[in-house]
Chain A
Amino acid sequence: RAAGRKGTVEPLEYYRRFLKENCRPDGRELGEFRTTTVNIGSISTADGSALVKLGNTTVICGVKAEFAVPPTDAPDKGYVVPNVDLPPLCSSRFRSGPPGEEAQVASQFIADVIENSQIIQKEDLCISSGKLAWVLYCDLICLDYDGNILDACTFALLAALKNVQLPEVRINEETALAEVNLKKKSYLNIRTHPVATSFAVFDDTLLIVDPTGEEEHLATGTLTVVMDEEGRLSCLHKPGGSGLTGAKLQDCMSRAVTRHKEVKKLMDEVIKSMTPK
């Protein structure tokens, strides 16, 4: 009883009591992730979609493919345009209106992950060099904000892209128009599988994995590592906060490697269960 009251009056002290015993108020270990569930292909109007739940944090990603003229300085490349939306629905701290700072930072982070890890070769999205290319609009909407939004968004994006099916397009030489064959669809060529692992730093020394909304608020710093299956890092995002030594970073890397295996296994299982027998 006393612990419950202290949780609202002195949240930091309340947390410290648990951290001393190497666990957290929701019963997890310091290196344990919340239950991750993924649902692929739920939106029928989108070309690809995925819903990811990381404990209470829920993010849905929908991918729509449209035609566009390729950029003049790269005539054989298409576009991948991500956008992260944090609507007032997911948390009381977001108001309606233009995207706030948190949403803009998350959008920039996802754009960087796509660019750095080369999930998709942009040349694969080109239909006719200099004339027509695919543009994939990836919209990520958070339905419930309980911390660790970056991990959920990265996972949702990857799962949705794996679900995208693009119809075959031919350019008719006589009319110079594009002919879309909706009956013949093919999956995208996903080259790497980047998985994000987020940590929160407490009291300058303790690192906990997958922070909830409360833990993020009390933490003195956060760190996100994006790793692909070959152990290459595409992003080490540490926006300020308390300092870390090289040794602590090493621990984070090893945890990120194990997390990658967990996530890949989960995604492969879901995709396998979806393919028609």
Chain B
Amino acid sequence: MRSEYLTYTQARPAGRKSGLHVGCGAMEGAMRSDDKVCTETGIESSSRGPGCSLRHFACEQNLLSRPDGSAAFLQGDTSVLAGVYGPAEVKVSKEIFNKATLEVILRPKIGLPGVAEKSRERLIRNTCQAVVLGALHPRTSITVVLQVVSDAGSLLACCLNAACMALVDAGVPMRALFCGVTCALDSDGTLVLDPTAKQEKEARAVLTFALDSVDRKLLMSTTKGLYSDAELQQCLAAAQTASQHVFRFYRESLQRRYSKS
């Protein structure tokens, strides 16, 4: 998966690859951004050290031409593509008189969307509703479309991160940014952050949280498996520490994108 992504970027014209200048449509926050994060904060890239650490992540914004905002978020081998249309016209049956109507569409990699996708769409939509300032755009619709490109664990967290970056790219007003973090607890209680698909399958419990950027409050949570109350608090604390890395990455990739140099 990673190598496929690399060949995709190299296929672009040579001038774009440097990722500079406001004139270019697509800014490559990808390679540069995460390299910088790696050296500064010491997040492991390919192999994970003991304890809690996140996989290598990368983000690219403004890569699609039709949506108002788009982002691709990669976490290890998991990658999700998000597009945001809005604020746009809304059907009279769905309009809310004082707020924007938020819609989320999640398409799996293979097959047709089913009940599980509907459930995830509701989770992502309610998370976005808590942060998007819908009152500034009443009687409009904001649609977030997510396409799963590859799934290698922590899919819901990756979808949340991609949705947040796409909303920022579209310029939708928000009161805070949000990020998704997944924790897996295995049978002897060890905590693993950002688990791979194999670790998720072998884990006793998998917990996914969405945290906001202002005061790290819990916006959304969904869990699988059995765990105790103390383990929940432990996972939540670990997720809050990990979210700081993700928010710092957001800030740096946006700074890089809008810097004039």
| Inter-chain contact B115/A243, CB cutoff 8 Å | no
Q: Please, which residues of chain A bring their CB within 8 A of the CB of B237? A: 246
Q: Please, which residues of chain A bring their CB within 8 A of the CB of B129? A: 240-241
Q: Please, which residues of chain A bring their CB within 8 A of the CB of B128? A: 240
Q: Please, which residues of chain B bring their CB within 8 A of the CB of A231? A: 228-229
Flag B94-126 by CB within 8 Å of A: 1 or 0 each: 000000000000000000000110110111111
**Of A108, A117, A238, which is within 8 A of B115 by CB?**
A108
| Inter-chain contact A243/B119, CB cutoff 8 Å | no
For residue A43, CB closer than 8 A to chain B, the reply is: no
For residue A250, CB closer than 8 A to chain B, the reply is: yes
| Inter-chain contact A232/B123, CB cutoff 8 Å | no
| Inter-chain contact B217/A244, CB cutoff 8 Å | yes
| Cβ < 8 Å to A, chain B residues 122-136 | 122-130
| Inter-chain contact A237/B130, CB cutoff 8 Å | no
| Inter-chain contact A242/B207, CB cutoff 8 Å | no
Q: A116-B225, A239-B220 are in contact. Are A105 and B233 (CB under 8 A)?
A: no
**Of B115, B121, B232, which is within 8 A of A249 by CB?**
B232
For residue A112, CB closer than 8 A to chain B, the reply is: yes
For residue A101, CB closer than 8 A to chain B, the reply is: yes
Flag A70-110 by CB within 8 Å of B: 1 or 0 each: 00000000000000000000000000000001001101110
Q: A231-B228, A236-B232, A243-B212 are in contact. Are A107 and B219 (CB under 8 A)?
A: no
| Inter-chain contact A105/B118, CB cutoff 8 Å | yes
- Nearest to B225 among chain A residues (CB) is A116
For residue B255, CB closer than 8 A to chain A, the reply is: no
For residue A172, CB closer than 8 A to chain B, the reply is: no
For residue A30, CB closer than 8 A to chain B, the reply is: no
Interface residues on B, range: 35 or more
| Inter-chain contact A221/B130, CB cutoff 8 Å | yes
| Inter-chain contact B126/A239, CB cutoff 8 Å | yes
- Nearest to B119 among chain A residues (CB) is A108
For residue A212, CB closer than 8 A to chain B, the reply is: no
Q: Please, which residues of chain A bring their CB within 8 A of the CB of B222? A: 236-239
For residue A197, CB closer than 8 A to chain B, the reply is: no
Q: Please, which residues of chain A bring their CB within 8 A of the CB of B220? A: 238-241
| Cβ < 8 Å to A, chain B residues 217-248 | 217-229, 232-233, 236-237
- Nearest to A253 among chain B residues (CB) is B229
Interface SS majority for chain A: mixed
For residue B40, CB closer than 8 A to chain A, the reply is: no
Q: Please, which residues of chain A bring their CB within 8 A of the CB of B225? A: 116, 234
- Nearest to B212 among chain A residues (CB) is A243
For residue B210, CB closer than 8 A to chain A, the reply is: yes
| Inter-chain contact A233/B229, CB cutoff 8 Å | yes
For residue B4, CB closer than 8 A to chain A, the reply is: no
Closest approach, in angstroms, between the C-beta of A229 and any C-beta of chain B? 12
Q: Please, which residues of chain B bring their CB within 8 A of the CB of A250? A: 229, 233
For residue A245, CB closer than 8 A to chain B, the reply is: yes
Closest approach, in angstroms, between the C-beta of A82 and any C-beta of chain B? 11
For residue A118, CB closer than 8 A to chain B, the reply is: yes
Q: How far is the CA of A115 from the CA of B227 in the complex (A)?
A: 14
Q: How far is the CA of A87 from the CA of B195 in the complex (A)?
A: 39
Residue of A107, A108, A250 most packed against chain B (CB within 10 A)? A108
Closest approach, in angstroms, between the C-beta of A139 and any C-beta of chain B? 15
| Inter-chain contact B115/A235, CB cutoff 8 Å | no
| Inter-chain contact B122/A101, CB cutoff 8 Å | yes
- Nearest to A235 among chain B residues (CB) is B223
| Inter-chain contact A245/B229, CB cutoff 8 Å | no
Q: How far is the CA of A55 from the CA of B94 in the complex (A)?
A: 30
Q: A107-B115, A221-B130, A246-B237 are in contact. Are A232 and B221 (CB under 8 A)?
A: no
| Inter-chain contact A233/B130, CB cutoff 8 Å | no
Q: How far is the CA of A108 from the CA of B124 in the complex (A)?
A: 15
The residues of B with any CB-CB pair to A shorter than 8 Å are 115-116, 118-119, 121-130, 207, 210-212, 215, 217-229, 232-233, 236-237
Taking A234-B226, A243-B218 as given, write out 13 further A-B residue pairs in contact, using a Cβ cutoff of 8 Å, ordered by the A residue number: A101-B118, A101-B121, A108-B118, A221-B126, A221-B130, A233-B223, A236-B207, A236-B223, A239-B126, A240-B124, A242-B219, A243-B217, A250-B229
The residues of A with any CB-CB pair to B shorter than 8 Å are 101, 104-105, 107-109, 112, 115-118, 220-221, 228, 231-246, 249-250, 253
4 pairs of A and B residues whose beta carbons are closest in the complex: A240-B126, A243-B217, A240-B127, A108-B119
A-B contact pairs, 21 of them (CB 8 A): A105-B119, A105-B122, A108-B115, A108-B119, A112-B224, A221-B130, A228-B226, A231-B228, A233-B223, A233-B227, A238-B220, A240-B126, A240-B127, A240-B128, A240-B129, A241-B130, A241-B220, A245-B218, A246-B233, A249-B232, A253-B232
